[in-house]
Amino acid sequence: MVGRKIKIVDTTLRDGEQTAGVVFANQEKIRIAKYLNELGVDQIEVGIPVMGGDEKQAIREICKLGLKSSIMGWNRAAIPDIQESLDCGVDAVAISISTSDIHIKYKLQTTREDVLERMVKAVEFAHKNGVYISVNAEDASRSDMDYLIEFARLAKQAGADRLRFCDTVGILEPFATYDRIKTLIDATGLDIEMHTHNDFGMATANALAGVRAGAEWVGVTIGGLGERAGNAALEEVVMALKHIDGDDLNFKTELFREVAEYVARASGRILHPSKPIVGSNMFAHESGIHGDGVLKNPNTYEVFTPEEVGLQRQIVIGKHSGTHSITAKFREYGIELSGEEANGLLTRVRAVAVNLKRSLFDKELVNLWEDYCREKGD
């Protein structure tokens, strides 16, 4: 494992846009591609060229930007699809076909042999045209392992650069993931990309388990946008690799919040306050004990700094606050509270917070202070 570099392929513009109810305007697709490039993403899956129209136009324009990131087009295992990708000027193609019996029988209504044949033909065509190739084993997590190994071996022989291991329905957990990926790599030596879905809340954990088993690529989206419960989130994977696994990919993480907000707006989604890494509550502390700890040393309740992901620390004053937080908050307003004043205010703050069922705004705190001073007669 020493010396290998984990690479990130972002599919916000393909799997992310495939989310029910999400459509990006072409200008938004271009803006997002520029953001991904600036963040440090190794490869951007930009869309599905064979759809034609606006989709193909946006992909063409992204290819012309001359970004540092590799640009990948998504294709079914069919030569006309791949021809459309090549027409756009991409340097990489994803060639996708299902490998599970349930997909082969009911969706494709064909045989395992036919799947192998279609995949090999498509890969050979792409290889002849000199582009980087990811072969996507759709529903890999529900595929027979011996068949998947055969599929991967033939893909490699035909010229594939990596296999995208798709947990299409999100049914894996980290221990099974580790075993499958290790088995695949030992048997084929092919590079593996983890493509994990979050149906059971394990997309990021499964991606990390795959990396530990030897996968060198991780497929992600901004904010985990993607079909159903979504994909592994770019910001989660990058920050977990850095702070949990000690593997810094040198991303421009300070942009995470800004990019997450942009993609949330463009996709018509709210950015939930408790979203991992980029949620507005990540660095908001209300409880007296936590507020006190963070004021003494932020490391007591924070693993990384807010600046690292483009957020700000916030001591929130509300029902659970303590006198230490209130004193620090009023110091920001230029008011030095005595112990008695802090206690007097705290009682009022709690009563108002319960009444309003929320924490208090600055203006409300200042009003409470003025009331307190009036009642005391000074």
Q: Which is nearer to Mn ion, 15 or 28 (CB)?
A: 15
Q: Which of 11-19, 116-124, 134-142, 182-190 is the region at the interface with Mn ion (rule: CB under 5 A)?
A: 11-19
Q: Which is nearer to Mn ion, 15 or 193 (CB)?
A: 15
Nearest approach, Cβ of 224 to Mn ion (angstroms)?
A: 11
- The site that binds Mn ion (CB under 5 A) totals a number of residues, namely 1
Nearest approach, Cβ of 227 to Mn ion (angstroms)?
A: 6
Nearest approach, Cβ of 327 to Mn ion (angstroms)?
A: 50
Q: Is 167 in the site for Mn ion (CB under 5 A)?
A: no
Query: In angstroms, rounded to a whole number, what is the distance separating the alpha carbons of residues 302 and 299?
Result: 5
Q: Which is nearer to Mn ion, 231 or 327 (CB)?
A: 231
Q: Which is nearer to Mn ion, 15 or 81 (CB)?
A: 15
Of 296, 291, 281, 299, give the one whose Cα is nearest residue 342.
291
DSSP 172: -
Q: Which is nearer to Mn ion, 85 or 231 (CB)?
A: 231
Helix (H, G, I), strand (E, B) or coil at 200: coil
DSSP 112-160: HHHHHHHHHHHHHHHHHTT-EEEEEEETGGGS-HHHHHHHHHHHHHHT-
Q: Which of 14-22, 48-56, 91-99, 338-346 is the region at the interface with Mn ion (rule: CB under 5 A)?
A: 14-22
Determine contact, residues 165/137, Cβ cutoff 8 Å: yes
Residues 89-108 that bind Mn ion (CB under 5 A): none
Q: Which of 15-23, 99-107, 128-136, 294-302 is the region at the interface with Mn ion (rule: CB under 5 A)?
A: 15-23
- 361-263-269 Cα angle (round to 5): 65
Nearest approach, Cβ of 117 to Mn ion (angstroms)?
A: 24
Q: Which of 12-20, 72-80, 143-151, 244-252 is the region at the interface with Mn ion (rule: CB under 5 A)?
A: 12-20
Nearest approach, Cβ of 369 to Mn ion (angstroms)?
A: 53
Q: Which is nearer to Mn ion, 236 or 292 (CB)?
A: 236
Q: Which of 9-17, 28-36, 122-130, 179-187 is the region at the interface with Mn ion (rule: CB under 5 A)?
A: 9-17
Nearest approach, Cβ of 14 to Mn ion (angstroms)?
A: 8
Amino acid identity of 254?
Answer: E
Residues 295-354 that bind Mn ion (CB under 5 A): none
Q: Give the residue carrying structure tokens 């800004």.
A: 258
Range 190-220 burial, b when 16+ CB lie within 10 A, else e: bbbbbbbbbbeebbbbbbbbbbebbbbbbbb
Q: Which is nearer to Mn ion, 55 or 139 (CB)?
A: 139
Determine contact, residues 225/18, Cβ cutoff 8 Å: no
Phi, psi of 241 (to 5 degrees): -60, -40
Nearest approach, Cβ of 168 to Mn ion (angstroms)?
A: 6
Q: Which of 8-16, 208-216, 285-293, 358-366 is the region at the interface with Mn ion (rule: CB under 5 A)?
A: 8-16
Q: Which is nearer to Mn ion, 15 or 191 (CB)?
A: 15
DSSP 323-347: HHHHHHHHHHTT----HHHHHHHHH
Q: Is 292 in the site for Mn ion (CB under 5 A)?
A: no
Helices (H), ranges, the chain: 26-39, 53-64, 79-88, 101-102, 112-128, 145-158, 174-188, 203-212, 234-243, 256-266, 288-296, 323-332, 339-356, 362-376
Phi, psi of 341 (to 5 degrees): -65, -40
Q: Is 15 in the site for Mn ion (CB under 5 A)?
A: yes
Which residues have CB under 8 Å from 199's CB, separation 6+?
169, 170, 171, 228, 229
Q: Which is nearer to Mn ion, 13 or 326 (CB)?
A: 13
Helix (H, G, I), strand (E, B) or coil at 281: coil
Determine contact, residues 237/207, Cβ cutoff 8 Å: yes
Q: Which is nearer to Mn ion, 19 or 69 (CB)?
A: 19
Nearest approach, Cβ of 123 to Mn ion (angstroms)?
A: 20
Q: Is 17 in the site for Mn ion (CB under 5 A)?
A: no
* Residue sitting closest to Mn ion (CB): 15
Binding site for Mn ion (CB under 5 A): 15
